[in-house]
Amino acid sequence: MKITYCLLAVSFVLFSCGRGSDDAATEYGIIPMPNEVAPMQGMYILQGEKTVAVPSGEAAMKVFHYLEDALKNTSVTLKSIPETGQADICLSIDSSLPDEAYTLEVSSDKINISSNETAAGLFYGVQSLLQLMPAAIYDGNRKYEEEIRIPAAGITDAPRFPHRGAMMDVGRNFLPKEEVLKFLDLMAFYKLNKFHFHLTDDQGWRIEIKKYPKLTEIGSYRKRTQIGHSDYYFPRRYDGKEKRGYYTQEEIKEIVKYASDRFITVIPEIEMPGHVSAALASYPELSCGLGKTYVVRDYFDVFDEVYCPKEHTFEFLEDVLTEVMELFPSRYIHIGGDECPKKAWKKCAHCQSLMKRKGLPDEEALQSWFIHRIEQFVNSKGRDIIGWDEILEGGLAPNATVMSWRGEKGGIEAARQKHKVIMTPGKKCYFDYYQESPEFAPLAIGGFLPLDTVYNYNPLPAELTPEEQAYIIGVQANIWGEYIQTPEYFEYMAFPRLLAMSEVQWTEPEHKDFDSFVRRLDKEFKRLDYCGVNACRNFYEVNLAGAWNDSRQTYEVTLKTFCPDAEIHYAVNDSTVTASSSLYKNPIPLNEDATIYSAVYKDGKPLGKVTRKSFAVNKATGCDYTCHPEAGWEHLNKGFGLTDGRCGYARDMRRWISFYQDSVQIVVELKKPQKVREVAFSSLWRPVNAIWPARELSVSVSTDGKTFVPVGTKQLTYDFTLTEGTRFPASLSFAETEAVFVRLELLSGGLCPKGYYHEGQQSELAMDEIEIY
């Protein structure tokens, strides 16, 4: 199958009209970009009653009914006739086309869509056809009475990957069936074909299992949910609101059929052997029985609760999987396998005895044995398993497909072992990451994954040979639900990034172009709006970034927007931005602390909200520095994150530089000899993470980098009666003196104090921007 896809891709290159063809295709507005578009003259006018020739068979008739339903809000009515008849719209079979490939021909007098017998290509051809129509046909507030003008075109198309997935996590926060169906509709719009349904986790069991009713009676309910990040408040805060919900087997059947009617396969995930607190709360006998009380978890973390590999546990899991496989016809069953702590297994006499009997050297091998056994059962039912890349540990199950989430390393290893791989690395595919500035965005798990980063991802690692790359069957977006409690917020996190992902999944790299994509997306927002999708609007806002320009010896702020053909207006230290404010043309130079406010305008009208960002510009900005010991981690701007003009903030860890020792020395080399009188920085307090602020600051200066003269020491104290993670600023003033080198000597927070998390453990020191005045 992969060879067929590759051959078809080659034919597209050979017969494509080149860059000009892609430019013309941009005007058609289809997402994902088709792999070959031949622009044509003329229009097809769709109005009144039209006949549709439909091939025999249930699959083709599904396509007809889908198109009929899509046009229900217009004045068009469709009548199906046999494929052999003369028709206005012809759905036809071409056996030479690969699975999911299609051709679409629109002329002034006819529309023809062809695919092979599976009819999936017919469905994708219909999606492209619908995108050629006005977005207003989806306006639920009024009937579209006008004639539908469809531009003439010839399209020959097929997907780059056979697995084009998106994952919805309802284990953490249940979402209603209606939102699941709506998401399936939206997946279908953009030719995604695999819906990964994450149904169980520590915070909830969301699928009815007839043989084990307690899974939903107990496991689908919790009394409350944490507020904010699990590591932000001390002690944790809770909302006091009950959270419950699961899908009955009848609802699951409805979801599966709804997806099938849109040529989407639903892949269920039943987590094991970890992430099972909700299951153990329902049936504690499945645990290692170490005297714990098991509850459905009301906060988010990786917990020690795991299934105990006893015979009655496997009997339970086989019973559950049997009911699951009766509901889901998917070839794949996802069994999780990630983030499984081994603490319980290390203490469990049964587990240790089992390891001896089976000759297993460690608990990683025990997990591998566990996964192998489950795989054998799933294989016996004619199905295959997918697991997260941890299933590689201890030896990969023979027929398993690996979903690589901890970067691409696991996927690369699995491909080299000739196992199928689905790429879904967190930094490229996790849509629970922020997509706009975390300072002002709704709460997310962390990280930063903007639209262009998603779009530019290539799931085929260059270090693999072409033969090894062939084992990568696809790529998937994952929308984890820890902080997503409503359908509206789910849609905000998924869109428009899912459209960028669809082009990663479908379009060959030589036909991808981000400038083209944003022009098409600008139009597609209208359809999202008509469909009631709460998409993130950062597309119509300004993203601000600052950096030291060494050649100009100044700090410069750049402004950009994804929105094409728009103007950016800005103001410095003034929150009022209008069309009369300064027009952004070149980077904005700063020589002191400032806040930039900005907004996007088109035709004199604002498109989005005013965005702002503050920059700390002082004598340290843009300077080199050395750390002793070296930083334990730097998430952003490694090597100059302490002098890049950007301060950190408590809710997001990306801008902080961390040290794990009790004493830290940082030497900043100024750009020239100059007078200095104050040093400032901030450190972070997040006791759940063992992060405590610095307790002492000493400063010394030097003109040669060898001999340092002390200028001051200060004991630092803080208000620890606060209950939330806090950015604590600190500064030290001294008599003005000349320096080229400024040395900060810091003592960390010491040992985590009594009464807090990690009592007696060496604390971590996380600090941000160094400012020198």
Both tokens of residue 505? 């999944």
Contacts of 402 (CB under 8 A, 6+ apart): 386, 387, 388, 389, 391, 392, 396, 410, 411, 414, 419, 420, 421, 422
Distance CA 7, CA 351 (A): 51
Distance CA 773, CA 489 (A): 43
Active site positions, annotated:
339
Q: How many CA atoms lie within 13 A of 451 on its CB side?
A: 25
**Letter for the amino acid at 241?**
K
Distance CA 611, CA 599 (A): 6
Q: Where are the beta strands (DSSP E) in 616-752?
A: 624-628, 633-634, 657-659, 663-685, 696-702, 709-715, 726-747
User: Is 132 within 8 Å of 178 (Cβ atoms)?
Assistant: no
DSSP state of 592: S
User: Is 175 within 8 Å of 168 (Cβ atoms)?
Assistant: yes
Kindly state the helix (H) or strand (E) to which residue 62 belongs, with its residue range. Answer: helix 58-70
Angle, to 10 degrees, between the axis of helix 19-28 and the axis of helix 514-530? 10
Contacts of 438 (CB under 8 A, 6+ apart): 444, 446, 448, 649, 651, 652, 654
Sign of CA dihedral 80, 86, 89, 91: positive
Distance CA 331, CA 318 (A): 17
DSSP state of 81: E
Distance CA 129, CA 90 (A): 12
Distance CA 620, CA 617 (A): 8
Is residue 735 packed enough to be buried (19+ CB in 10 Å), middle (13-18) or exposed (0-12)? exposed
Total Cβ atoms within 10 A of residue 57: 13
Total Cβ atoms within 10 A of residue 358: 11
3-state SS string for 568-590:
EEEEECCCCCCCCCEECCCCEEE
Distance CA 408, CA 423 (A): 7
Distance CA 359, CA 602 (A): 69
Facing residues of 715 across strands? 696
488: left (phi over 0), alpha (psi -120 to 50) or beta: alpha
Both tokens of residue 413? 């290893």
Largest alpha-carbon pair distance within the chain?
A: 94
DSSP state of 763: P
